[in-house]
Amino acid sequence: MGCGQSTDGFSNYGSSPHNSQFMTTNNSSLTMYGNNNNNGSMKNGGEGDEDLNAKEVAVDRSTLEAYIQLEREIAEEEASNPLQPLELKAEQLARITQEIKEMEVNLENLERETSSYGEQTKDSVETRKFFIENGIQEDPLSPDQEKYLDSANKQEIAAQELETHRKQRDQLAEEVAELEERASTLQAKYKTHDELLSRLFGGEYGSVKENQLEAELDELEAHRGRIMEANFKWRQAQMMLEYACKQLAVAVQKWQDLPTIPTIDLEIRYSVAAETRNNLVAASQNINGAQRYLDNVNFPYCAPGEVDTLNKQATEYVFTDMQSHERHEHAHSCYSTTHKRANALLQWFDTVINTTIMKDLQEINEKVKEKTLELRRERVRLIQEKGTKTQGTCVSKDT
């Protein structure tokens, strides 16, 4: 498959409409001070509810400076955009928590299946001990031994996947907590900003131009939100794919080294085979994770079917495949091919991100910056004008 076949998949970078609404709502809170649902009243210093139309703040140089400083602080907070990653990572945390519950049930079932193969499993179901205790070398495995070996291997894989998921869950929980704190700070600044403008203008727009500029900025922010969401998802997927490529490279090298280890060194041979398997499992998890981030994008390489083949036809039988030259070579071909295709997929990711998404993001950032400055200048003008009318003094121009 060529890259061109996935054009439809990333024409909108794989973003989802419901997430763009999240960004529109929060970015709009920066400017939609005319739409407060507080019926024109708010708490003020413990004095009780006040009629905003009846009492407005005094407009002087300090008011203007406070407004400009608040705008700058909000712009700095928005530069790292904690709101959107918070929603995405919170969704991911909920999903991985559910997956852990399902994996725990699956592991229990595999443990029961493995223990059903005989008394030898009561002391230990570790494949390494089975190898050592039974002295398996070049002799072919019996049918029961092979079934037990495959079952024990599946159990070990399931246990490894569960442990990896638990670590990912813990890391995500920390990231979500940090993002929640940053988002709370930004939302507090949004609220202060809204209250200041509402008190300045009594909950009304200062001018028709301000109303128009605000609507135009909201539209640009919504569009930027979709591009930023796409950029976040693609970069998270890219990071996971980079890990997968490194893990596949280690697996291929370890598998190549295996025939050079004497068959009498059973523990070393098992250790190398286990390390190969562990890297293959981790790589497949990362590739699947990248696909989850971009669930409506068709990957030109390493599609779900290919990863499933790697797991079912190769990874689960790694200890059986190490017993004969023919099976070893077949497995090596499978691992090596997947590694090459994963590298090709990573290059495709780089192309999409650098030539498409970043170009669009740079363009929309410039438009948002220009429109934000336009709106700020109009509001500064209105504040200056209001100060001149109410106090008969001229406030210095500050853009």
The pLDDT averaged over each successive group of 10 residues in the chain (399 residues) is 34 38 32 30 35 50 80 79 80 88 89 71 47 53 69 81 88 90 88 82 79 92 89 92 95 94 84 89 90 91 88 74 88 93 96 94 91 88 74 45
d(CA 104, CA 274) in angstroms, rounded, equals: 22
What pLDDT, on a 0 to 100 scale, did the predictor assign at position 142? 64
What domain range is 320 assigned to?
A: 60-204+227-391
Q: Report the pLDDT value the prediction gives residue 118, as an integer from 0 to 100.
A: 61
In a domain, 177, yes or no: yes
pLDDT of residue 131: 58
The pLDDT of residue 329 is: 93
**In the prediction, which pLDDT does 190 show?**
86
Domain annotation covers residue 24: no
Instruction: Say if 376 falls within a structural domain.
Output: yes
Q: What is the pLDDT of residue 237?
A: 93
Residues ≥6 apart with Cβ < 8 Å to 237: 289, 290, 291, 293, 294, 349
Q: For residue 275, tell me if it sits in a domain.
A: yes
Hunting for tokens 């009318």 — which residue is that?
Answer: 389
3-state helix, strand, coil in the chain (%, to 5): 80, 0, 20
Q: 42 forms bridges with which residues in the sheet?
A: 50
**Is the pTM above the cut of 0.85?**
no
Residue 115 lies in a domain: yes
- Residue type at 394 in one-letter notation: C
Report how many domains make up the chain: 1
On whether residue 13 sits in a domain, the answer given is no
Looking at residue 258, the DSSP 8-state letter turns out to be G
Residue 276 lies in a domain: yes
Is residue 346 domain-resident? yes
- For residue 26, what pLDDT is reported? 35
Helix (H/G/I), strand (E/B), else coil: 280: helix
